Amino acid sequence: MQLTNFDVMMLGRDCPLVMGILNATPDSFSDGGLFNAPQHAVARARSMIAEGADIIDIGAESTRPYGDAQPVSEEGELQRLHEVLPHIVALGVAVSIDTMKSRVANWALRQGAAIVNDVWGLQRDPNMARVVGESGASVIVMHNREVVDPSVEIVEDMLRFFDRSLTIASSAGITSSRIVLDPGIGFGKTPQQSIVAIARLDALHSLGCPVLVGASRKRFIASVTPSNPQQRLGGSLAAHLLAAQRGAKIVRVHDVAETVQALRVATEIDNSVEELS
């Protein structure tokens, strides 16, 4: 496994890293069924790398926060990954495994994945932090809630959640340079709370870890401008550009080429303004 230290990955970068989403599932909210065949998944990974993806995030169980996604057993998740993940690792890009199961994470890390993306922030599977800590891998710690509660002050809730996750990580020997925080746009939140989470992203910087934002095609966009997931490119780009302005170091996206172009143009404009001032 090629270890991924996020501080090192970001050296010399003047715009966020781009993580390409690869759903090897039949029921993901936006592209379920498109890439669950192994040859289609590998081809999609190649395409995203060519478009500028820095990381490929592979998931074999839909974790969509709404809808009728079916739970997948450990065996089922491993079976879906078996013919996909090693081939994508061989492409030479940093690979992230999107799972909330420590056994699946452990297998993926042994196959060469470098990052664990846990939508429950090390707080669901009691063995997840140990697996990450012992492997030397990096981890994306995402904020989540069991129940959506419009009355919750979402930024305060995120800070409390991340404080627990960071304590768990520290106890397992996971250093801060191997941790990224994800506000969990759309997970356990109303659309308005997701919008606030992006608007108040700077509140997370005090925790000392880089921040990832995954707003791609999320439902909050439709709350502003009614649309189905495939019609939310404009809203996704707007959210990720504003997240970058607020200090996000990684964006997790379906539309890699368009996001890379938007980030590079925005960065060039910002750099020109600084040169003129």
Distance CA 38, CA 58 (A): 12
Q: Which domains does the chain have, with CATH numbers?
A: 6-276 (3.20.20.20)
Distance CA 243, CA 18 (A): 13
Supply the pLDDT for residue 256. 98
Supply the pLDDT for residue 1. 44
Choosing from 101, 218, 219, 249, the catalytic residue is 218
- Out of 72-76, 192-196, 223-227, pick the least confident: 72-76
Q: If you average pLDDT over every residue of the chain, what do you get?
A: 91
DSSP letter at 225?
A: S
Confidence of residue 40 (pLDDT cuts 50, 70, 90): confident
Residue 110: active-site member: no
pLDDT surpasses 50 at 98 = yes
For the segment 117-152, what is each residue's pLDDT rounded down to a tens digit? 999 999 999 999 999 999 999 999 999 999 999 999
| Amino acid in position 221 | I
Supply the pLDDT for residue 26. 66
118, β-bridge pairs:
141
pLDDT surpasses 80 at 228 = yes
Which regions of 10-81 does DSSP assign to beta strands (E)?
Answer: 17-23, 55-59
Supply the pLDDT for residue 91. 95
How many residues are listed for the chain in this entry? Answer: 277
Residue 218: active-site member: yes
pLDDT surpasses 50 at 32 = no
| Amino acid in position 182 | D
- CA dist 247 → 102, 136, 154 (Å): 30, 26, 18
What is the arithmetic mean of pLDDT over 98-117?
Answer: 97
pLDDT surpasses 70 at 36 = no
- Would you say 214 and 182 are in contact if contact means Cβ atoms under 8 Å apart? yes
Supply the pLDDT for residue 65. 56
Q: How far apart are the first and last CA of the chain?
A: 45
Q: What is the pTM of this model?
A: 0.91
